[in-house]
Chains A and B, each alone.
Chain A
């Protein structure tokens, strides 16, 4: 089944403890992206990647890192999480880097709480 898989689904952590949220897609998509969803703010883009070893900042990149060593994986790293990073995170991928009728395929989300 074509899908984007994120892990974990739920995570509670303490301030300052490094964490990684994994994202993997099995559709050979070139483009991958991370979003955070907050009430009343919709989805805001954190980072995106157009292909292996090519990443760029989205609208809210502060406090996050990403890497794209393989086409299928795009982990999100929080080196020193803070409470304002408590949010619902989504990984998404799409075929190609241009706008197309395909849109995004989204993962199921990771609910992160930083205390």
Chain B
């Protein structure tokens, strides 16, 4: 079945760039999403990319999509301590009935 994989932990220094990677298996994915979960809270949609795009930039966030390799990445420029959270990659296929989430990458930002 469909699967989404992410590394579980990433540690960076404040001010550096963070790159969180994700791979997925469903070739029918139309939208790919990044969600952010802060402690004690639900997930919030951070950004998304449509499957016919290679890149999307939104302020400090850059999403790169390599559709051939089914690889998605989220780059956070000038990472701040407030960016410490769990980041989930997710994909939703054409039918839209199911969204498959990765296990989440916990980002630690050291001051």
A, B bound: yes
Pick the interface stretch among B12-20, B60-68, B71-79, B97-105: B97-105
Interface size on B, residues (CB 8 A): 29
Q: From known contacts A45-B99, A101-B50, infer whether A106 and B43 are also in contact, taking CB-CB under 8 Å.
A: yes
CA of A28 to CA of B90, assembled, Å: 23
Nearest-neighbor residue (CB-CB) of B94 within chain A = A99
A40 engages B8 (CB within 8 Å): yes
CB pair B42–A99 under 8 Å, yes or no, is: no
- The answer to whether residues A90 and B101 also contact, given A43-B88, A97-B96, A103-B33 and a CB cut-off of 8 A, is no
Query: Cβ of B44 < 8 Å from any Cβ of A?
Result: yes
Contact check, B98 vs A45: say whether CB atoms are below 8 A apart. yes
Cβ proximity bits A80-115 to B, threshold 8 Å, 1 near / 0 not? 000000000010100011111111111111000000
Q: Of all chain A residues, which has the CB nearest B41?
A: A108
Tell whether, in the assembled complex, residue B96 and residue A96 are in contact, meaning their CB atoms are under 8 Å apart.
yes
- Interface residues of chain B, those whose CB is within 8 Å of chain A, are 4, 8, 29-31, 33, 35, 40-45, 48, 50, 88, 90, 92-99, 101-104
Could you list 29 A-B pairs, sorted by A, with CB under 8 Å? A31-B96, A33-B99, A41-B103, A42-B4, A42-B88, A43-B101, A45-B98, A48-B98, A50-B97, A59-B98, A90-B42, A90-B43, A92-B43, A97-B97, A98-B94, A99-B92, A99-B96, A100-B31, A100-B96, A101-B48, A103-B45, A103-B48, A103-B90, A104-B43, A104-B99, A106-B43, A107-B42, A108-B40, A108-B41
